[in-house]
Amino acid sequence: MSFTIPETMRAWQVTTPGPIDGDKAPLELVEKPVPVPNVGEVLVRVLTCGVCHTDLHVTEGDLPVHKSHVTPGHEIVGEVVKLGESANRFKIGDRIGIPWLRWTCGVCEYCRSGQENLCPNSLYTGWDHDGGYAEYVTVPEGFAYRIPDQFDSQTAAPLLCAGIIGYRAFLRANVPAGGSLGLYGFGGSAHITAQIAIDQGIEVHVLTRGDDAKRFALKLGAKSAGGAYDLPPVKLDSAIIFAPVGDIVPKALAGLKPGGTLALAGIHMTDIPQLNYQAAIFHEKNLTSVESNTRSNGEEFLRLADRLDITPETTAYPFERADEALRYLSHGDIKGACVLRIGE
Ligand SMILES: [Zn+2]
Ligand SMILES: [Zn+2]
| Ligand 1 midpoint to CA 16 (Å) | 31
| Ligand 1 midpoint to CA 134 (Å) | 28
Biggest CA–CA distance in the chain, Å, is 69
Distance of CA 291 to the CA centre of its chain: 11
For 204-240, what is each residue's pLDDT tens digit?
999 998 898 999 999 999 999 999 999 999 999 999 9
- What is the structure's pLDDT at 335? 73
| Ligand 2 midpoint to CA 133 (Å) | 13
Cα(247)–Cα(274) distance, rounded to whole angstroms? 10
Ligand nearest to the CA of 56: 2
Question: CB burial class (10 A; 0-12, 13-18, 19+) of residue 120?
Answer: exposed
Give, as one character, the DSSP assignment of residue 91.
-
- What is the structure's pLDDT at 333? 61
Neighbours of 210 (CB within 10 A): 20
For 133-168, what is each residue's pLDDT tens digit?
999 999 999 999 999 999 999 999 999 999 999 999
Question: CB burial class (10 A; 0-12, 13-18, 19+) of residue 4?
Answer: exposed
Cα(169)–Cα(257) distance, rounded to whole angstroms? 18
**Long-range contact set of residues 230-237: C-beta below 8 Å, sequence gap at least 24:** 231/255, 232/182, 232/205, 232/207, 233/205, 234/180, 234/205, 235/260, 236/180, 236/181, 236/182, 236/205, 236/260, 237/175, 237/176, 237/179, 237/180, 237/181, 237/261
Cα(273)–Cα(178) distance, rounded to whole angstroms? 32
- What is the structure's pLDDT at 334? 67
- What is the structure's pLDDT at 34? 98
Give, as one character, the DSSP assignment of residue 175.
P
- What is the structure's pLDDT at 274? 96
pTM (global) more than 0.85: yes
Ligand nearest to the CA of 105: 1
Ligand nearest to the CA of 119: 1
pLDDT < 50 positions in the chain = 1
| Ligand 2 midpoint to CA 83 (Å) | 26
Distance of CA 190 to the CA centre of its chain: 10
- What is the structure's pLDDT at 2? 60
Closest CA to 339 of 122, 161, 150, 118: 161
pLDDT > 70 in the chain, percent: 99
With residue 31 as reference, give the H or E element that holds it: strand 27-33
Q: Is the separation of the CB atoms in 57 and 335 below 8 Å?
A: no
| Ligand 1 midpoint to CA 218 (Å) | 41
